[in-house]
Amino acid sequence: GWHTGTLGILVFFIGLAVLALTAVREAGWDLFSVIPESLVTIALGALATIFVLIRVIDIPDRFLPADGRGIGIWISLVAALAVIVAGLLQAAEEL
């Protein structure tokens, strides 16, 4: 997905941010005292889902000779939705 334009790169960095947030939480550090971590996780997942859905719906002309939508875009969509679900489960634990 790295060569799929700006949206692919943004989704990649959102994924890195989710991994970094998870690593920081597992290390025991508290980064967000005002905003719950679950809300940040849900927001990152929602942003990634929107970006992936934009790419699913609209393939730029420079990528059209490809064989349509490959398996990678669908894996990205499922992963982005899974981040939202993980944030919701984390919010349920915090209550």
DSSP string covering the chain: -TTS-HHHHHHHHHHHHHHHHHHHHHHT----SSS-HHHHHHHHHHHHHHHHHHHHH---GGGTTS-SS-HHHHHHHHHHHHHHHHHHHHHHHH-
- Residue 83 clears pLDDT 80, i.e. is over it: yes
Q: For residue range 12-65, what is the model confidence (pLDDT) as tens digits? A: 999 999 999 889 888 888 777 778 888 999 999 999 999 999 988 887 666 655
| Residue 68 pLDDT class (50, 70, 90 cuts) | low
The whole-number average pLDDT for the span 60-82 is 78
Give the other-Cβ count within 10 Å of 45's Cβ.
Answer: 22
The whole-number average pLDDT for the span 66-82 is 83
